[in-house]
Amino acid sequence: MGLLISMIMYPVCKKLESRGASRIIGVTICLLIVIFLFAALVALLFWQLRAFVSDWPALSTKLDIALWDFRHWLAVHFKITLEVQDSWLHDQASQIMGFVGQLLQGTISFTINTMFTLFMTPVFAALFLYHRGFFIAFLKKIAGDHYGEKLEIILQQVIRTYFHYIKGMIMVYLIVGVLNTIGLYALDIPHALLFGMLTAIMTIIPYFGIIVSALLPISAAWTVHESIWYPLGVIGVFSFVQYLEANIIFPKVVAAQLNVSTWATLVAILAGGIIWESPEWSCSSRSSPSQKLPLITWKRGNTGASCFPVHPTSTPKNTIWKTILRILPRYASPTCRM
């Protein structure tokens, strides 16, 4: 992640240095920009949690009423008495408490690892930016005389590719925000534009972001409308938009920014899951670009689009890797038609 941030901020750092700033000042300004954006994201997350907590008393009252009505409906239509329901709820509560204890232990461990990673990421990013000359010299020695001339071109193209990837992701978030807003507006949810855009922005945080950001419009829907179908409708809108984003919007928009076809993008994601045997490749559209982009980065010289992949640190299976490299470039061009 530190390498990714350093590559994204490299053009900014280079521009500052070209205008007379020292490398230390340039790196410091880049890190301050990253820290400010991250702090703004965290502040937005806590603001949404605080707003949800303030709405919780009204939601709790409605939940109690809905739960009582549901229990009464079970007793009338299925002859399940309230005593049997209370006994079942007590047993389930005991099992849930045991599960919560294990979950808390895992959460504490995950939080410690996350905080350490968040602390070390800007440190690694600063080191990569400040000592980039040494890293390039080291890579030239590894590449040797045969590939040394092409190395600088490849590095510049990788940085450009990451830039276009981030640009594509920003466009994806804007599209998701517009679709969320349209869905919330159709359900007559108050502040539809605010909730739609906030939910799109919070999807930067995988899994947890979309869950927390969805709580606010769900609580607003249940507070304003008496029917439970409106909160369920909000959940349906977000689920449908997330499905479109993962399977249509993300491959289409990001592929256009990277100058590859949607077909090549989808094949690259699936091929990564096969080669490196990681289910996260094929199951999540938000995996790290440092994992996805190596499969869809090509050296495009004057002679055409010759395949020159930038290999990750992992060593893939040679047979599958060679097969993918032999087939994928045929469909890499956006103008290719099957």
Q: What's the pLDDT band for 179 if we cut at 50, 70, 90? A: very high
Maximum C-alpha span of the chain: 83
**pLDDT band (50, 70, 90) for residue 46:** confident
Identify the pLDDT of residue 206. Answer: 67
Neighbours of 177 (CB within 10 A): 20
What's the rounded mean pLDDT across residues 141-145?
A: 80
pTM: 0.63
pLDDT at 307 over 70: no
Nearest C-alpha neighbor of 298 from the set 161, 163, 139, 168: 161
What is the tens place of the pLDDT at every residue in 309-334?
A: 334 444 444 454 455 445 444 444 44
Question: For residue range 194-248, what is the model confidence (pLDDT) as tens digits?
Answer: 888 888 888 877 667 777 788 888 888 887 887 888 999 999 999 999 889 888 8
Report pLDDT for 265: 67
Summarised one tens digit per residue, pLDDT across range 266-305 is 676 677 666 655 444 444 444 445 444 544 444 333 333 3
Between 113 and 126, residue with greater pLDDT: 126
Contact 201, 173 (CB under 8 A): yes
Q: What is the CA radius of gyration of the chain?
A: 25
- Name the average pLDDT for the chain: 76
Q: What are the tens digits of pLDDT across the range 249-261? A: 888 888 788 777 7
Residue 173 to residues 70, 168, 202, 203, 259, Cα–Cα distance (Å): 38, 9, 9, 8, 19
Contact present, 200 and 176 (Cβ < 8 Å): yes
